[in-house]
Structures are given as structure tokens and as C-alpha cells.
Structure 1
Amino acid sequence: MLLLGIDIGTSSIKVSVVDAATQRCIISCQHPEKEETPISSPHPGWAEQSPDMWWEHTKIAIGKLNKSGLYNPNDIDAIGIAYQMHGLVMVDKSLNVLRDAIIWCDSRAVDIGVKAFNSLGEEAILKSHLNSPGNFTASKLYWIKNNEPAIYKQIHKVMLPGDFIALKLTGTVTTSISALSEGILWDFKANELSETVIDYFGFEIDLFPSIVPLFSEHGCLTKSIADELKLRAGIPVSYKAGDQPNNALSLNVLEPGEVAATAGTSGVIYGVSEQLIYDKKSRINTFAHVNYSKERPLVGVLLCINGTGILNRWLKDHFGVGLDYTAMNERALAAPIGSNGLRILPFGNGAERMLENKSLGALISNIDLNKHQSKHIFRACQEGIAFAFRYGLDIMRENGVNPKVIRAGKANLFQSELFADIFVNITGVPVELYDNDGSVGAALGAGIGAGVFRSPQEAFSNTKPLKIIEPNKENTYEEVYYDWRNLLNKYIK
């Protein structure tokens, strides 16, 4: 029995086929191969992508898998989807996209969320929704209602990026409690779709899809799409989850106290709790985890840093022309700890939640034209990103999340030995690195939803760490971190 996983990323679409019996990936591929999916920014702080482009890239990626000859496409029995969180996709009654999606790093709705937070009562909304409406999906939809009323009137259904891909596969629109919570549309106190937020913004309740369990059937592959993809009609889409809950699932982070991290385009630390945790300033966010239920309300407490891997890629494009990431890492290793005083704040990808939705922009500080070289910039980048993680983890600790170990996939920035070393030593927390992939996690999630596995734990029973990195006895980064933090404080106060 084979399982197909689809990961709708910001930079590319990745797909994998997994053998359910061994839990091993047979083949993975992505499109575009060089992670060049464009983000449109019609105005400063805006970030949009075409959902139809995601769909075209998904079809191309699945076609690449099928052409490999490494498996029989007719043996695929379930499909799972992971997706970039907090996006806003809208379709009309013909299920056609009405406009480009407003994606996770778009900042246009910050003021809307702040006003809603104040009007609804900060303490009341935090106790019931665990988050400020902030810059999340509900606030983005209200921006559409106010600024593009002609489009708003045509909306048949509102959905997240993964819901849209499932719609294209099956013709069916569904959502889940976890998905609604990431849009700040789930009332944890009432355990239902939020009347409070929907009434405040004046949304029609039928704009939102029917709610089904996350691990369940979200529709089945239609014959026309099955023929186009050369798959078997009737395959269920049996799992949909945001990329960070899915990353936690793929690292077998399912129980209270377990913590996952990722450092791709954005950076995240994600801890599971059985307490309905919220931060009074909404600097960290709490969403329903993949295994959340009304009977056992497990939540994921999420620290998000928008500007992590995207900064590293920007430096590669502009300071590392002709270099790959391995060569950049080698140069960074040649620079001393602290990068000879060079400091980088990695906040150049929209409003940062952990900085109370401020849009600082990225900053390179203390450049000395006589002594700083590319190696110092490359190292200061990785130090700055790791320091941002430490800053955010301290906020999580204030709110009762105290990880004893952090699990991460050996991917993106965690492929850099330097970055992993800085991260471990500045946070003081050991890291277990896994051969982890979001599309593989989505495939195994599909197996859980389809009943191939009796439990999430069984789906990851063969998962073992590749490497465990322990902090050094002497933290040589602490003084540098405090200097970096002092720089940050100058800009956020």
C-alpha cells in the first residue's frame, strides 16, 4: 500500500510517495526545482500568490513522481496535504479563484486585527480564542470585505491553501478545527466555530466550509483529475494540516512537552500542550494540534519568525553569487564567533508576531569596510537567525513551554552544522535531527486518516534520530546574544 503526500510550500510544491508497510519514502520531488515560486507584493507589506499556480505546480510534481517508474500509481491508496498556514483563498460558486491568495507573511491586516483585539476585549478573546485576531485569516477576509467589496460579494467559500488543493483534487470543500483555529475562527471555550469573530466582522456563516475531523475523508479523487494525474479515481484525501502542525506530526511530536522546530523560509518552534496557553501580548500563538479533540484538547504553541531562511537565500542571491549553501556555510565557519562585531536582525519578511506585529525590516549593523568580508556576513546571518529563535524561546518559557529536547528535520538551515551548533548553544536545549520531510509527514498522515495505521504513534514507529547535538558546557555565544538583543531593543522600543 502506497501513500501520496503533498506539501504546499511558499517556495515550491513538494510531493512524496511512501510505502505504508515500511514507512519509508520511495521517491520525492518538487516543483519548481530551484524553489523559485514568486511572491507578488503589489504594495509594501503585501504578499500574494496564485492558488492556480500552486495547483499547476502540484500536477507537474505528481507527474514527475509517476514518470520515475519506481512504483505503480494504481497502488496509491490515500492522499495527505500539508500547506503554508494562514493564507486566504476565495472561490466563487463555480469554484473558480476570485483573486490571488493573501498569504501568511502579508501584513496588510495588522491594524484590523489590533482594532478587533481591543474592541472584543483582550482578556476575553485570549481566553476563548487563545490569540489576538492579529494578522490572521479572519482579519485578511475583513480587509477584502472593506477594500474589495465586489470580490467579497462573489465569495462562495473561504479556505486555506491546503483546502484549495483538496478541492481541486476532489471537488469537495472541507475544513477542520485545527484549520479554523489558525485563522482565529475557532472558539476553544465554546468548542465551536467562533460566533464572536464572525459576528464582529459581519461575515456570513455559510462562507466557511463544513468541519470534518483532520484525520478523515476530505473528499475522493474525481475521475477527470485522476485521469489527468494518471492515478486511480476514488482515492481519499484523508489528511490536511498546516505545515507546522504537520512538521510536528512528522517528527512524532504529539504529546504534551514534546517540541519541534523548523528553519525554512520562516522559522518555528512548536510545542504541544494540554493547557490552553496564551500569551497576553499574542507574541506566540496557540492552535489546535493535529490530534486535538473536544475530549482531549491538545494544542500546539507556536513561535514564528518570518525572516529566517528567506534571509539566507537573499544573502546567497546578492552576496554569494556563484556559491551554493554548502560553500556559504564553509565561509561562515571561517569567521570567528560574533562575526567581528557584525550583527544582523533577520526581520525583513513582514510583520513579526513575536515583536508584537512590528515590521522592522532586516538590518545589517556595525559594518567595518576594512575588516568585514562575505564570511562575516554569512556567519552573522546564521547567528542572527539563531538569536531570534532564542529571543522567541524565552517568550515561550515565560508562558510555560520549557523544552528538554527539540526535534528538527535535517533540512534547510539545520543542514548547516554551524547553525545547528549556534542554535543548540544559545538556547541551551539539545536538538535531535531526523530525516524529516513535510510531504512524507503528509503521506503518513494520510495513512492515519485512512485507517492504515491504528494511531499516529504507529505511523512513526520506525522514526529514529540521525544525530543528537548537545550544548557545550561553556556557552560562548551568550555575550554576543546580549549585544544582538540590545541592538534589537533599540528598534522595538
Structure 2
Amino acid sequence: MFLGLDLGTSGLKGVLIDERQQVVAEALAPLSVARPHPGWSEQTPADWIAAAEMVLAVLAEKVPLDGVAGIGLSGQMHGAVLLDADHRVLRPAILWNDTRASAEAAALDDDPNFRAITGNIVFPGFTAPKLRWVKAHEPAIFDAVALVLLPKDYLRLWLTGEAVSEPSDAAGTSWLDTGARTWSEPLLAATGLDRSQMPALVEGSAVSGGLRDGVADRFGLRRGTPVAGGAGDNAAAAVGMGVIRPGEAFLSLGTSGVLFAPSPGYRPAPETAVHSFCHALPGTWHQMGVILAATDALNWYAALVGEDAATLTAGLGPLEPPGRAMFLPYLGGERTPHNDAAVRGALVGLAHETDRAAATRAVLEGVAYAVADCRDALARTGTRLERAIAVGGGGRSDYWLKLMATVLAIPIDRPVAGDFGAAFGAARLAMMAATGAGAEIATPPTIADTFHPDNALEDAFAAAHRRYQSLYLALKGLT
């Protein structure tokens, strides 16, 4: 068997697969996010370890874990885990959707070396500006930093005792030479750091270390079980869905929203705010457009009206033309294509006839228009999508997928019931690392449903998308 652990923002998931890549067991431990100030988003790394212990204990109750031959890791990207020389955590981890370092990000982005070497804008959510913020506002902590890890790599440190990362996750730090797949000394120096404070790098399908005796003995695992390099959450999800070759794509409707497309090579276009990152497999890269709030926006609205998100979407019926009400999902700023940490959301065009269903449709439409902005940004790099596989909690809504297909003007495929996301991809990477298997095992899932664009409504939604873009410009002037 092979174990994949995915350290997400809202929970840590574990998936066990067998040699035929069939899911044997899975478990989930919830996580919460602290927001002590506007724009801040933090988690305590000790909670990740507690969640991992819970997941391993639940899995061990379902299946003896002594048959696990490899472990793979995936996780939320960009988080800053700061450790001292004894590997003690110095402060809560600053997460991917934290925007406090917008000024520091802009200052680093003014240095042309960052875009030239990383192939990306320095976004406020990336790791490097977080360290600049800590240096400016918490200098004693900055001076004590001996090691900077990404969230899943802190989990690896607990599992193996090794400080290791891999290129797909490291590409989101603003410290990686993305074309060369190695740390950049000049970019580290520009942040006040050096190579000694960075983890080693291995490829996602390579072995990063062996399981520590204490962890192995506690949960009935084999001592020294190989732990793969793994991947950032989106690259791992791509491996889980077999999206590893140019011409393939996936749409993720999770906490954030992602349009992900493998590249024929390293093809940066930072001016578009498209992310150009290393993929999880050696010698591969990908592009993606990212919005900060997808199901996060729907869950926000559900809490506002005192209902759960699934109930709100279940009663919508067939796809309707775009309504008068319009929602901009910028609850914590936005990435692609705006790179705007200051902008905030809006729900406008309300009228007496705007009932709960109409407002729900407006929220779903707003997220779809934000994803369409990502599609347009990808097109400006030369990447055009022909279809995409849906993943994430939002993909369970027929209405939302039909809407997405119509707004994006491409078919959207939904896999058969099962887990083909980041934890499954991490388990596949574990299988590669432990057995020497290659990309041939990353096959696409069986498709259960395909949602085609509603040709009769495409023009109406295209016109509404243009209104949405105009509304962003008006909103930007107010923030």
C-alpha cells in the first residue's frame, strides 16, 4: 500500500491506495484558521502534527499500516514556517491567503531579478514577502530564524527528521530559480536570508528520507518507510487526475479556485499574473490562474444567510440566465489577473426580487467570472483550454459545473465518485518513489459526467462577464 497525506487549509486528509491504485481507506482531521487582524491568516504547526496523528490513528484502525511501502506529501503552498536552530517553531505559520505583506511584496517585485529568475510576480501570499514582513515587524524572531519550511515540509520534518522540499512547492516562495529548479542565492539575499536557512530539494517522485522509528512504531508503520518529495497541493492534484501532459487541464473549486494546465516547457509570463511553476515530476512545468476564494466565497455567503452551502446549491434547478445581482468574490484580495491585495468583495445590483436563490446564483456566477479572468490570462500566454476535469468540493454541484462550462465555453468533466485530488496524487508520488514507477501510472480517472456549455446562454454570460470586469475597475477605485 501507499499513503498520501494532504495538509490542506481546512483539514488534513490521508488516503491509502493499493498496488492497483484503488483507495483502501481514507481519513480526515479538521483544521481551523486564526485571523487575529484584518488580512491575516495563520495556523499553529502543532495543530498539523495533531491532525496527522489523528489521521494515522484512524487509518490504523481501518487497515494495518505495516503494509505501507511509501508515503507521499502534499499541502497548502506559500506558508512560512519559521524554526530556530533546535527546530522549534518561532511563531504561528503565515498562510497562503494572508495579505499583510502586500507592501513588502511590491518592494520585492520592483527588483527585476525576482520576475526574471522565478518567472512570476511576487504576490503578497508568497513566502518571501512574509519574511520581509517578519524582519520589519518582528525583528527578534527574524534574527532567530535558522530554517524556513513550507507547511507540508514541516510535516515531513516530523515524519523523517529531514529538512527537505521539492520544486513544485518551492516555486511558490519567490526564492526558486524556476527554470533551473534550484534555490536562487541572489533572491534569498534580497530577503535577508541565505542558502543555509533553506531545506534541501529533491524531485516530487524521489525519496526525501525514511520514516523515523518513533512515528513508525506508534502507528504500526515500517521503520524507514520511504517518504517521497511530494508536491504542492495543485501539482499533487494534477498527478492524482493524470493532468501531467500539455493539452490537459483541471479546474479546482476548493477553498481557492484554480485553472491548471501543464506546459510544454518552462514558459513564464509574469506580466499576466499567471503562475508559472515546476510540476511535480522531473523536467516538467505548469501554468495556473488562481483566485483566492471559490468555495470559500460560497461558504461565506452560506454562513451569512444561516444555511449550508450544499443546501443552497441543491435547490437551484436548471441553469438560468445571469441575474441582475452581481458578486465579486474578492473577500481577501485577488491574484490572477489583478495581483490586488487591497480590493475587497461586493454584492451589488440587489432589488426587491433578489431572493436567496438569486443571491446564491450571483455568488456562483461571480466565482465563474473570476475563473474566466484566469482563462483569459492563460490565453495571453498562448495556453488555450479545450476542456478541463473538475476537482474540489464545488465540483459536486451540477449547477456550478454547468455554469462554469458555459462561462468558460469548454466542456467540464467530472470523475466518477472517489478521491482523485491532492492526497491521491501524493500517494501516487509515494508509489513512484518506492517502486521506481514513472509517469505512466498517473492515468486520468474515469469520467462520470460531462457538462457542456449552454450555447443559448453563452452570449448572455459573456456580456455579464464584461460587466463584472467593469465593476472590478469601479470597485478598485473605492479601495
- Give the TM-score category using the shorter length: over 0.9
Match of 2:132 in 1: 142
Amino acid at match of 1:27: A
Question: How far does the alpha carbon of each residue in 1:34-79 deviate from its partner, in whole angstroms, 9 at most, with x for none?
Answer: xxx32212221111111110110111012112112xx321111111
Measured at CA, do residues 421 and 308 of structure 1 come closer, stay the same or move farther in structure 2, by a change above 3 Å? same
Match of 1:116 in 2: 108
Measured at CA, do residues 356 and 91 of structure 1 come closer, stay the same or move farther in structure 2, by a change above 3 Å? same
Q: Distance in 1 between matches of 2:44 and 2:10?
A: 12
Measured at CA, do residues 392 and 62 of structure 1 come closer, stay the same or move farther in structure 2, by a change above 3 Å? same
Match of 1:314 in 2: 300
Question: How far does the alpha carbon of each residue in 1:191-226 deviate from its partner, in whole angstroms, 9 at most, with x for none?
Answer: 532122112222132000112222111111111112
Q: Distance in 2 between matches of 1:103 and 1:11?
A: 12
Equivalent positions of 1:306-345 (< 5 A) are 306-321=292-307, 324-333=308-317, 336-339=320-323, 341-345=324-328
Match of 1:131 in 2: 120
Amino acid at match of 1:134: F
Q: Distance in 2 between matches of 1:366 and 1:238?
A: 50
2:206 to 216, 219, 225: 216
Measured at CA, do residues 26 and 280 of structure 1 come closer, stay the same or move farther in structure 2, by a change above 3 Å? closer
Match of 1:156 in 2: 146
C-alpha RMSD of the superposition: 1.9
Q: Distance in 1 between matches of 2:304 and 2:455?
A: 37
CA contact (8 A) 2:7 2:13 kept: yes
Q: Distance in 1 between matches of 2:265 and 2:227?
A: 30
Please give the secondary structure, in 1, of the residue aligned with 2:2. strand
Please give the secondary structure, in 1, of the residue aligned with 2:435. coil
2:25 to 24, 27, 41: 27
Amino acid at match of 1:309: T
Q: Distance in 2 between matches of 1:465 and 1:138?
A: 39
Deviation at 1:328? 1.0
Question: How far does the alpha carbon of each residue in 1:126-150 deviate from its partner, in whole angstroms, 9 at most, with x for none?
Answer: 3322012232111111211222121
Measured at CA, do residues 166 and 446 of structure 1 come closer, stay the same or move farther in structure 2, by a change above 3 Å? same
Measured at CA, do residues 353 and 392 of structure 1 come closer, stay the same or move farther in structure 2, by a change above 3 Å? closer
Amino acid at match of 1:94: D
CA contact (8 A) 2:115 2:121 kept: yes
Match of 1:429 in 2: 410
Please give the secondary structure, in 2, of the residue aligned with 1:182. coil
1:39 to 30, 33, 36: 33
Measured at CA, do residues 332 and 486 of structure 1 come closer, stay the same or move farther in structure 2, by a change above 3 Å? farther
Q: Distance in 1 between matches of 2:29 and 2:153?
A: 19
Deviation at 1:289? 0.8
Q: Distance in 1 between matches of 2:40 and 2:342?
A: 12
1:442 to 417, 426, 438: 426
Deviation at 1:3? 0.6
CA contact (8 A) 1:90 1:158 kept: yes
2:385 to 403, 407, 414: 403
Structure 1 segments, 4+ long, off by >4 Å, are none
Equivalent residues, number: 471
Match of 1:413 in 2: 394
Deviation at 1:405? 1.5
CA contact (8 A) 1:333 1:379 kept: no
Deviation at 1:82? 0.7
Unaligned 5+ segments in structure 2 are none
Match of 2:98 in 1: 106
Measured at CA, do residues 389 and 189 of structure 1 come closer, stay the same or move farther in structure 2, by a change above 3 Å? closer
Match of 1:460 in 2: 443
Please give the secondary structure, in 2, of the residue aligned with 1:219. strand
Deviation at 1:111? 1.4
Match of 1:362 in 2: 345
Q: Distance in 1 between matches of 2:450 and 2:433?
A: 31
Match of 2:58 in 1: 64
1:77 to 69, 80, 86: 69
Give the percent of matched residue pairs that are identical in Structure 1 and Structure 2.
25
Equivalent positions of 1:471-486 (< 5 A) are 471-474=453-456, 475=458, 476-486=460-470
CA contact (8 A) 1:448 1:459 kept: no
Amino acid at match of 2:173: G
Q: Distance in 2 between matches of 1:344 and 1:261?
A: 20
Deviation at 1:449? 1.6
Deviation at 1:458? 2.0
Please give the secondary structure, in 2, of the residue aligned with 1:448. helix
Check if 1:276 corresponds to 2:266: yes
Match of 2:160 in 1: 170
Question: How far does the alpha carbon of each residue in 1:306-326 deviate from its partner, in whole angstroms, 9 at most, with x for none?
Answer: 0111111112222143xx433
Match of 2:251 in 1: 261
CA contact (8 A) 1:320 1:328 kept: no
Question: How far does the alpha carbon of each residue in 1:145-189 deviate from its partner, in whole angstroms, 9 at most, with x for none?
Answer: 222121122222111001000111111111222232211111245
Match of 2:238 in 1: 248
Deviation at 1:241? 0.7
Q: Which moved more, 1:299-308 or 1:312-321?
A: 312-321
Deviation at 1:107? 0.7
CA contact (8 A) 2:82 2:91 kept: yes
Deviation at 1:429? 1.3
Deviation at 1:125? 3.6
Q: Distance in 2 between matches of 1:386 and 1:164?
A: 34
CA contact (8 A) 1:157 1:207 kept: yes
CA contact (8 A) 2:402 2:451 kept: yes
